[in-house]
Amino acid sequence: MGPPGREGKATTSYESAIGLLPPPLCGLLRTLPRDVWGRAEEVRLRAGRPLTVSLPEGERALPPGGRYLVEPHDLEAVLEAVTRGSAHTALSSLQAGFVTAPGGHRLGVCGAVVRRENGAPPGLREISSVCLRVARAVPGAADGLPLRLLCGDGFFHTLILSPPGFGKTTLLRDLARQISDGGAHGAPRRVALVDERGEVAACQRGRPQLDVGAHTDVLDGCPKAWGIMWLLRAMAPQVLMVDEITAPEDMDAMAAARGCGVTLFATLHAGGLRDLATRPAHRALSALFQRVVVIRRDGGRRRCEVHPFPDAPPPPGEGETP
């Protein structure tokens, strides 16, 4: 028997994610039809509400009719299971609102916040809901996109935009794979990936569990600004990729990378070009990026639009392909 196809890999990702949960919940989630396994994006548990699975067309209660209601002890059991009994050691991640689990799956946590003195990060006193996001490599998600982003013998500096849950990380992962491996868009390139939350490559013991390409170097679990400078000094990348830039220091580090001749790819939460234009960081971003990829949903399918970056100055000496 040959290797599993795209749908088989999607099903395996779902199995991997729900396998992190306590046996009763995992068993319940296994009752869904197999075609749903391949499309499931998130598992959501809210205290006093039915367990749901997020699909491209919306949330589905489980079992049908929502007869099973989530109890507080279910939420605590999920956190213990995902952190493998070490919830207290995951405190630093929880302060950011999530825990990255083996396989690159992410558990978002919500509840009653405890405020601390002296500027210490807040904690959670009680958990009211959790969201387990299924990490899924989708080979082919970026098909055709590298060709649309060609700039001379390289690529445009590119920012990927979408609201949460539209597949920015999935698209970035497949762009890394395709640019790293090479193809119709050109020869293989050295790609450096700063995977701060471990969601893009899902490294275990130094080995990516999700395919990011044969010529990709991954710096796992470190702050983006620090990681960008590390990779510039250590790995001489041709292309640098980061997921979800937010802080001014991230953009400062990316500016340094661009000044060294490295091509930039990054993602950002935004609803589109109009939303981007209202951001205080718009001017700084316009100095970094030349193209914007906007991910849109058309029914249950996703499509990518490529636009020039609004008000982006053309870099000297770099031409544009039609």
Domains in the chain, ordered, with CATH?
A: 6-133 (3.30.450), 145-308 (3.40.50.300)
Token pair of 61 as six digits = 């209660």
Indicate whether 63 pLDDT > 70: yes
Taking only the tens place, the pLDDT of each residue in 176-204 is 999 999 999 999 999 999 999 888 998 87
Are the CB atoms for 304 and 310 separated by under 8 Å?
Answer: no
**How confident is the model at residue 255, as a pLDDT?**
95
CA distance 240 to 242: 7
Token pair of 64 as six digits = 């049908």
Return the biggest CA–CA distance within the chain. 64
Indicate whether 18 pLDDT > 90: yes
Given pLDDT bands bounded at 50, 70 and 90, which one contains residue 238? Answer: very high
Given pLDDT bands bounded at 50, 70 and 90, which one contains residue 66? Answer: low
Q: Provide CB contacts within 8 A for 35, sequence distance 6+.
A: none
Over residues 300-322, the mean pLDDT reads: 65
CA distance 40 to 54: 6
